[in-house]
Structures are given as C-alpha cells and as structure tokens.
C-alpha cells in the first residue's frame, strides 16, 4: 500500500507539464486522482510535451498505475465552471482529500507588463487565472475537507512571487503569484481548526516541454547561471515537495511556502 492509498486527490492544470507530473506522483503514492484542465489534451500543442505522454490523457496514464482517475474540462478563473468540475470529480471518485491548485500561467513576453506600462487586459487575465483560480479551487474543496476534518491543500506560486524582476517586468504574473502566497497563509489560519493544512510550492526555472522551448530561445545558459546549483530544475524536484505536503511527513506544517528554485532567489535580472 502507498502512503496515500484510500485518498482522493485533485490536480488542476494537469493535462501536461508540472501538473501532470504532480498527478502521476500522487497516483504512484496510491491516491485516486482527478484532473481538471481547460483542455485535457493540451499537451498536443507542444511537441516536447506530447513526446513524454505514455497514453492519450493524463487520466489514462494514472489508470495504468492501478488507481482510479476522472477528468473534467473547466477554466479555473470561472467560478461556476470550476465548482461544476469539482463536483463531477467528487461524484466520480469520492470526496476530495488532497488538492493541488496548479492551474495558471502568464501572458505576453517576459520583458513586458511592468507597472507603468501595464496591459490591463493581460493583467486582468493573469490575476484571474492565477489568484482567482486558486481561490476558487480552495473554496470548492474546503467544504468536503471540513466535513471529514482532514485535508491537504497545496497552492502553486513562483519564485517570481518572492521578488520583483530588476526591471519590474512581468509584474502581472509576479503580483498574482505573491497574492497566492498570502492567500495560502490566510487559508491555513482559517482551516487549521479542521485539521486541514494549506501550503505552497514556489518553483523556479523548471525544465518542462513548454518551458524548454522558451529557455532554448533565450539561451539555457542564462537561466542555469542564475541558480546556485548551476542547472535547471527537474519536474521531479517539484514533485518531491508535493509529496511532502500531501503525506504525513508534513502533518505539523501549514501556512508555509517552499521555494524549489535551486537558489535563484535574489538573482532575477530581467
């Protein structure tokens, strides 16, 4: 039996990339895992992402590990869509014990969207996608966890939510991710009385199919040089932190953010 046998987990934004890796790690630990994504086959948009798939969807990959899975398509920034999708997952797999609020993303080029030159349509899009999406997900699963008086909520911020870039660019993204860190602490204070922990992971430069295309375009060496460990992160580096937060290893840990950056903090030069 795995550490999470008998538990039901939900991962948003898990059709590809880090979300997919998180979902597979939870399944390997014995959990039944539900997936919510705006497109359950979004990996097809990225050649490198498609290359690592071992089945048609993440749900199929999870089932191949011998546990149950279900999927639903929804935009986490839309509260009604998200709540409907969460209900569908719970109806299929059972009440949700663990959630990873992974869905999100940026918009525009990394050299754009400084505070004085903000595209406010993009600002609204990114804040709704990241901060609202996380808040919607917490609100959707919390009643189930409160009822059973047990739960693990894991939010996903970024090293860019810890500090601003030297030139103030991509501020819509960094601001939304900083908000997630604070939302995590607030939720931990609220839900601790129900034996629900709420913690946050803040990845740095992690090598996934989509991000590798960006790294290569701008020069991989540039990103490796700003980490103390001299390399890009691997998805498994982040999955280990998800495992820690989701299992009894972190029973007495709540309201914290773990930065999985290889020592990037303090070195953002863009």
Residue 191 has pLDDT above 90, yes or no: yes
pTM (2 d.p.): 0.94
Q: At CA 46, angle to CA 41 and CA 47, rounded to 5?
A: 110
Residue 159 φ then ψ, to 5° = -60, -25
Query: What span, in angstroms and rounded, lies between the C-alpha atoms of 90 and 98?
Result: 12
Query: What span, in angstroms and rounded, lies between the C-alpha atoms of 10 and 76?
Result: 13
Query: What span, in angstroms and rounded, lies between the C-alpha atoms of 125 and 75?
Result: 12
- pLDDT tens digits, one per residue of 111-147: 788 888 888 999 999 999 999 999 999 999 999 999 9
- pLDDT tens digits, one per residue of 2-45: 899 999 999 999 999 999 999 999 999 999 999 999 999 999 98
- How many C-alpha atoms does 83 have within 13 Å on its Cβ side? 10
Residue 260 has pLDDT above 70, yes or no: yes
User: What domains, with CATH codes, occur in the chain?
Assistant: 8-260 (3.40.50.720)
Catalytic residue annotation: 173
């Amino acid at each position: 039996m795995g550490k999470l046998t008998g538990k039901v987990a939900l991962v948003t934004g898990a059709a590809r990339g880090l979300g997919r890796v998180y979902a597979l790690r939870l399944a390997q630990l014995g959990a039944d895992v539900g997936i919510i994504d705006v497109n359950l086959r979004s990996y097809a948009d990225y050649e490198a992402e498609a290359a690592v798939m071992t089945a048609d969807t993440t749900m199929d990959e999870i089932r191949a590990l011998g546990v149950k899975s279900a999927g639903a398509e929804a935009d986490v920034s839309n509260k009604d869509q998200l709540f409907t999708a969460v209900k569908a997952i719970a109806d299929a797999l059972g009440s949700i014990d663990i959630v990873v609020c992974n869905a999100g993303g940026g918009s525009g080029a990394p050299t754009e969207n400084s505070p004085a030159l903000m595209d406010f349509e993009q600002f609204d899009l990114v804040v709704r996608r990241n901060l609202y999406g996380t808040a919607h997900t917490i609100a959707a699963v919390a009643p189930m966890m409160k009822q059973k008086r047990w739960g693990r909520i894991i939010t996903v911020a970024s090293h860019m939510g810890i500090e601003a870039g030297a030139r103030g660019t991509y501020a819509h993204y960094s601001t939304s991710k900083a908000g997630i860190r604070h939302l995590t602490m607030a939720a931990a204070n609220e839900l601790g009385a129900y034996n629900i922990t709420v913690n946050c992971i803040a990845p740095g430069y992690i090598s996934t199919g989509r991000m590798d295309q960006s790294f290569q375009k701008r020069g991989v060496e540039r990103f490796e040089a700003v980490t103390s460990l001299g390399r890009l992160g691997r998805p498994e580096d982040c999955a280990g932190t998800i495992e820690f937060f989701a299992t009894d290893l972190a029973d007495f840990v709540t309201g914290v953010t773990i930065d999985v950056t290889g020592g990037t903090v303090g070195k953002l030069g863009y």
